[in-house]
Structure 1
Amino acid sequence: MVLGCGIVISVILLASVLAADSDADPSTAILIEVDQSGNGDYRKIQDAIDSVPSNNSDHIFILVKPGVYEEKIVVPADKPFITLSGTEATKTIITWSDSGEIFESPTFSVLASDFMARYLTIQNNYGAGAKAVALRVSGDRAAFMNCRILSHQDTLLDDKGRHYYSNCYVEGDTDFIFGNGASIFQKCHLHSLARGMGAITAQRRQRAEEETGFTFVKCKITGVKSAVLGRPWGKYSRVVFALTYMSKVVVPEGWDDWGESSKQRYYYRTAYYGEYKCYGAGASTSKRVKWSRSLSSQEAAPFLREDMIGGSSWIRSVPSHFRRISGAQGPKRNS
């Protein structure tokens, strides 16, 4: 999977800083630069986020220059329309070390709506053996492009809201994609670090009327030893893998009942675990648990489109024009 530049952001930014006003125009954004060397508007990412006004209605593009940023970051709920972008994920790294409660341990927490991240590594380097969230996504309409999300247990808390992940790399060992978001993962690489039996997903849909679930389309699954595709954190847990490569790390049973075999009869009626045209050594469905599904083309169709999360109306491309807020071209505001 390519996590490289794709777009030469630095060149675009230097050539395109304009003074035009356009609050609602998605092709124009306010530019803020973060650079540890002191050649930007801020040295720290959190300081750049804090500078965005509450109830912001402009598109804010925060360009993060390469470096290792040891920060615990929160994008508050009252600061929507922020894009945070590096130029290459392996060179723009946000890292912290924390464990414990899943809503407090994340290295990076997104509480705002209409957030986007591009070309970043987000990691919790606490290590194995404890809940250590790298990324928490609790805002609606959030997208992550060409990002690396790294930890062990509970790597990605896809908590609530509609989310889109494209060309991302996610690794962990236990329930490393979990929560109750309505999310599509497209062309993502999922890597299990488990040295015993790992679990890739733990989706938490708890009622039939909830329009939530995880869909993985044209993804890739690899790992160290063995893993199940998912286990039901919620009674109505919903996960679909479509057109996805599954290495032999995926065990023949495919899915797990979380050690509650007495509840399998309920999962048969309530959980929705589906697979559609997946391939590779771990993709055979002949020995899958009886309460999983091999989907027909008609059954899979609703899960294969961004329309499932309304993505075509809110996933933003990189702006073509940039402007500075008043005073931003004066003395650098380094923290």
Structure 2
Amino acid sequence: MCGKKLLCFSLLACLVMSSLNVAYSSSAVLIRVDQSGNGDYTKIQDAIDSVPSNNSVGTFILLAPGVYSEKIVVPADKPYITLSGRNASTTIITWNEAWFNQQSPTVSILASDFVGRYLTIQNTFGPNGPAIALRIVGDRAAFYACRFLSFQDTLLDDSGRHYFKNCYIQGTTDFIFGNGLSFYEKCHLNSISTNGGAITAQRRSSEGENTGFTFFSCKVTGVGVGTLTLGRPWGAFSRVVFAFSYMSSSVLPSGWDDWGNSDNQRTAYYGEYRCYGPGSNLSKRVAWSHQLSPPEASPFITKAWINGLEWLRPTPTSFIKPPHKGKK
């Protein structure tokens, strides 16, 4: 009887794992991009375009060091792609364009199950207008040790569940914005504004909408004293929590901004939990922000906030050649 139970359990486990076969696979197709011609492709977009539509195989696109002056799109029908450099300081994807439409960002991730590793993604347009370095629309996207650089509106965390770890994000105002459900862990948020501005502009528009940003064990810095706020509500029910994070003196004592509309004070949810540093003093915070108790903070401070244990996956440990090699 015990053996039958074990067999049933094993079969059930196999069924569950097969439904997540890509996410838990230890192998992936390897495609190399090298501008010198020593890889499969010389352009990143050509490598992405080579991935079959409705892809069901993990694909690891490895970039040789270099500055890639390209506008990159990962289409919605090409999931399970990893785009990786070896070091973010030497693997740079760059473009120069103001935010006119959805095609303006330097990199646009429309597909689900995307991973970015050891990359710098930047938009050099500015500093007098919005210029998006990265836009993420796809669900279940993760970024590790990446750098996102621009001025206003650097990172459009548009929709879906996203995870950022050990990333550096720089801008002037609203430089992390959108309506994603996202967990930022051990990230450095740096404002280069000398005239003030908000770090976040989260766009949750109703109480029932399950979106928001958590910043866990992060670092907040700026170029001056009292030059920035932690967030302002792009949507009336904007939701942002900072926990166990260092805040420099660049953070204004008030902490948060209602974007000139006092009605937002009743609906936005801005919380802080066990933060530290000169900018974390709560004595002069706006009265409508939340100083969280342990039970109140609990839902926000683990990867369960984004259901991360269900979809975050390890880096592949073995690689296979792509079925078709290019030399573009």
Q: SS of the residue aligned with 2:199?
A: strand
Q: SS of the residue aligned with 1:123?
A: strand
Whether 1:306 aligns to 2:307 is no
What is the CA–CA distance in structure 1 between the aligned matches of 2:68 and 2:172, rounded to whole Å? 24
Whether 1:277 aligns to 2:274 is yes
What is the CA–CA distance in structure 2 between the aligned matches of 1:102 and 1:236, rounded to whole Å? 25
Contact residue 258 and residue 265 of structure 2 kept, 8 A: no
How far did 1:272 drift?
A: 0.4
Q: Any idea what the Cα deviations from partners look like across 1:282-310, whole Å, max 9, x if unmatched?
A: 00011111110000011001101111111
Which sits farther off after the overlay, 238-247 or 316-325?
316-325
How far did 1:257 drift?
A: 1.2
Q: SS of the residue aligned with 1:46?
A: helix
1:292 aligns to what? 289
Contact residue 102 and residue 131 of structure 1 kept, 8 A: no
Q: SS of the residue aligned with 1:301?
A: helix
Contact residue 236 and residue 271 of structure 1 kept, 8 A: yes
Which sits farther off after the overlay, 95-104 or 142-151?
95-104
How far did 1:127 drift?
A: 2.1
Q: SS of the residue aligned with 2:175?
A: strand
How far did 1:23 drift?
A: 6.1
Q: SS of the residue aligned with 1:312?
A: helix
What is the CA–CA distance in structure 2 between the aligned matches of 1:204 and 1:272, rounded to whole Å? 11
1:251 aligns to what? 252
How far did 1:325 drift?
A: 2.4
Whether 1:42 aligns to 2:48 is no
What is the CA–CA distance in structure 2 between the aligned matches of 1:230 and 1:271, rounded to whole Å? 10
Q: Any idea what the Cα deviations from partners look like across 1:112-140, whole Å, max 9, x if unmatched?
A: 00000000000001120111000000000
Q: When the two structures are superposed, what TM-score results if normalisation uses the length of structure 2?
A: 0.91
1:6 aligns to what? none
What is the CA–CA distance in structure 1 between the aligned matches of 2:324 and 2:153, rounded to whole Å? 42
Whether 1:241 aligns to 2:234 is no
Whether 1:325 aligns to 2:318 is no
2:232 aligns to what? 231
Contact residue 107 and residue 135 of structure 1 kept, 8 A: yes
What is the CA–CA distance in structure 2 between the aligned matches of 1:277 and 1:68, rounded to whole Å? 40
Give the length in aligned residue pairs. 306
Q: SS of the residue aligned with 2:314?
A: coil
Greater relative CO (CA pairs within 8 A, separation 6+): 1
Identity %: 61
Segments of structure 2 that go 5 or more residues without pairing to the other structure are 1-20
What is the CA–CA distance in structure 2 between the aligned matches of 1:30 and 1:138, rounded to whole Å? 24
Q: Any idea what the Cα deviations from partners look like across 1:49-97, whole Å, max 9, x if unmatched?
A: 0000000000000000100000000000000000000000000000000
Q: SS of the residue aligned with 1:302?
A: helix
Contact residue 24 and residue 313 of structure 2 kept, 8 A: no
1:66 aligns to what? 65
What is the CA–CA distance in structure 1 between the aligned matches of 2:124 and 2:24, rounded to whole Å? 38
How far did 1:26 drift?
A: 1.7
What is the CA–CA distance in structure 2 between the aligned matches of 1:241 and 1:303, rounded to whole Å? 9
2:137 aligns to what? 138
Whether 1:29 aligns to 2:22 is no
Could you tell me which amino acid in structure 1 is paired with residue 327 of structure 2? N
Could you tell me which amino acid in structure 2 is paired with residue 90 of structure 1? S
How far did 1:25 drift?
A: 5.0
Whether 1:125 aligns to 2:118 is no
How far did 1:316 drift?
A: 1.7
Whether 1:222 aligns to 2:221 is yes
Could you tell me which amino acid in structure 1 is paired with residue 91 of structure 2? T
| Cα RMSD after superposing both structures | 1.2
1:177 aligns to what? 176
What is the CA–CA distance in structure 2 between the aligned matches of 1:86 and 1:320, rounded to whole Å? 16
What is the CA–CA distance in structure 2 between the aligned matches of 1:213 and 1:25, rounded to whole Å? 27
Segments of structure 1 that go 5 or more residues without pairing to the other structure are 1-21
Could you tell me which amino acid in structure 2 is paired with residue 325 of structure 1? P
Q: 1:273 to 1:92 in 2, by over 3 A?
A: same
Q: When the two structures are superposed, what TM-score results if normalisation uses the length of structure 1?
A: 0.89
Contact residue 267 and residue 291 of structure 1 kept, 8 A: no
2:113 aligns to what? 114
2:188 aligns to what? 189
